[in-house]
């Protein structure tokens, strides 16, 4: 079933606060084969927050994660993520198109710190593969 067009412009509730620790950054860095000696998180670390927000959105709309393929991801950083940050992500559905039985869902997520300041804004294009596709 196609995703409901009325979703465009919908802002989903902020995700639960996520406490960034050296251990979480190390786990992330090591999962990509790198070494972590402290300091800022790598550039794609905020996807942890954005993914959390996306999951909540998919669950709310009863969209199966296994039908989702990632089309595009962009990050714009106000500052690096550092240990001690308490972050939340707020997802907005920006665009929605149907192409060849697939839904192409454009989302933006604003990642803010404990003071409410923007740390990173990220946009994602999600391809929802139709059941017949």
Q: Which one among 11, 19, 60, 65 touches another protein, defined by CB under 8 A?
A: 65
Q: Is residue 10 a contact residue for another protein (CB under 8 A)?
A: no
If binding is defined by CB under 8 A, does position 43 make contact with another protein?
yes
- For residue 31, report the phi and psi dihedrals to the nearest 5 degrees: -70, -15
Taking the least distance from each CB to another protein, the nearer of 5 and 44 is: 44
Q: Does 129 bind another protein (CB under 8 A)?
A: yes
Number of neighbours of residue 10 by Cβ within 10 angstroms: 15
In angstroms, the CA 66 to CA 130 distance is 11
Cα distance between residue 129 and residue 121, in whole Å:
26
CB of 6 to another protein, least distance (A): 26
What 3-state class would DSSP assign to 46?
Answer: coil
Q: Which residues pair with 68 in a beta bridge?
A: 128
Question: Looking at 5-13, 47-55, 89-97, 103-111, which segment touches another protein (CB under 8 A)?
Answer: 47-55
Out of 56, 63, 68, 104, the residue judged to bind another protein by CB under 8 A = 68
């Amino acid at each position: 079933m196609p995703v409901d067009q009325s979703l465009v412009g919908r802002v989903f509730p902020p995700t639960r606060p996520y406490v960034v620790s050296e251990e979480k950054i190390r786990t992330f860095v090591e999962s990509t084969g790198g070494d972590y000696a402290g300091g800022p998180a790598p550039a794609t670390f905020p996807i942890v927050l954005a993914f959390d927000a996306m999951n909540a959105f998919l669950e709310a709309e009863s969209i199966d994660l296994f039908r989702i393929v990632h089309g595009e991801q962009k990050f714009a950083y106000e500052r690096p993520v550092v240990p001690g940050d308490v972050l939340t992500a707020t997802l907005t559905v920006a665009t929605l198109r149907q192409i060849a039985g697939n839904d192409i869902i454009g989302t933006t997520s604003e990642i803010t710190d404990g003071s409410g300041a923007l740390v990173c804004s990220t946009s994602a294009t999600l391809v929802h593969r139709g059941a017949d596709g």
